Amino acid sequence: MNQGKVAIVTGAGGGIGREIAIALAKSGAAVVVNDIGVSLSGEGGSATPGEETKNLIEKAGGRAVVDTHSVANWDDARRIVDTAIKAFERVDIVVNNAGIVRDAIFHKMTAEEWLSVVGVHLNGSFFVSRAAAEPFRQQQSGSFIHITSTSGLIGNIGQANYSAAKLALCALSKSIALDMQRFNVRSNCIAPFAWSRMTSGIPAETPDQKARVARLKMMTPDKNAPLAVFLGSDAARGVNGQIFATRNNEIFLFNQSRPIRSVHRGEGWDPQSIADHALPALQGSFAPLDRTQDVLSWDPL
């Protein structure tokens, strides 16, 4: 499906990123395996995870190179794209998957916890995408695939930094889709569900929490790869600016923010008339304070 294409997959040293990289290679793409080999919270650094992914790809007959530059640095992001061009002479697919988590309840979150997570998920996705935009524009083709999360699309507790970055990533994707459609460049998002390093810290103390973790463990990272492979291919040439989610054997298409109800008052509004008339009219359509597990409350299928 992607024969002759070249893909960059960030954060491809394990979990979902590794499975997407392997699947893209199996579909015929040469792959740049980008991973700096840090811990889940962004500490340390090693080329080993990326080398392991590269070895798995090559053992299956695919082509891959390892890149250890950081997506969170503007110059390093350009070096990631340079790696693809030097090794394979082009780039066709960018999967922005790299991420870290630094969870904390909002009133205890530090500036460093905020900046580090936003720096990787949001800034990193912009930096890598921006670096790839020029070769995409010149060749008049390309596909961006951004890994978002229902923590941003729906909500979660203790993840203000991660949720904000992941929802902002959807806006970035939509902007890329609008700005670059003239060059036949597509940009879409996937919110994956999988048991991986990103979810291994979920509490499992109460019966409800234990049941939820048991359900999550059913969702292996490889379940998310087919949609990424499809979105990178020419078969998805008409898919642009969309937000999908993959959960075990389910694929969801998410809506995007639009007005759902309005009120009008010819003489205008003041605070009291808003309280007396606008609020009662609008309140029935308020969005509840849901979390992901509240909205997707059934067991994975």
- Kindly list the catalytic residues: 162
Beta strand residue intervals within the chain, DSSP E: 6-10, 30-34, 64-67, 93-96, 142-147, 185-192, 243-247, 250-253
Instruction: Please state, in angstroms and as integers, the Cα–Cα distance from residue 186 to each residue in 25, 49, 126, 144, 152, following that order.
Output: 20, 29, 15, 6, 22
Q: How far apart are the first and last CA of the chain?
A: 26
CA dihedral sign, ordered 61, 248, 151, 169:
positive
Instruction: Please state, in angstroms and as integers, the Cα–Cα distance from residue 13 to each residue in 20, 39, 263, following that order.
Output: 10, 11, 51
CA torsion angle for 82, 14, 245, 9 (degrees, to 10)? 10
Angle 300-148-89 from CA coordinates, rounded to 5°: 120
Give the max Cα distance, the chain.
Answer: 72
Helical (H) or strand (E) element with 155: none
Cα(92)–Cα(136) distance, integer angstroms: 7
Cα(251)–Cα(128) distance, integer angstroms: 26
Beta strand residue intervals within 54-184, DSSP E: 64-67, 93-96, 142-147
Angle 12-243-241 from CA coordinates, rounded to 5°: 100
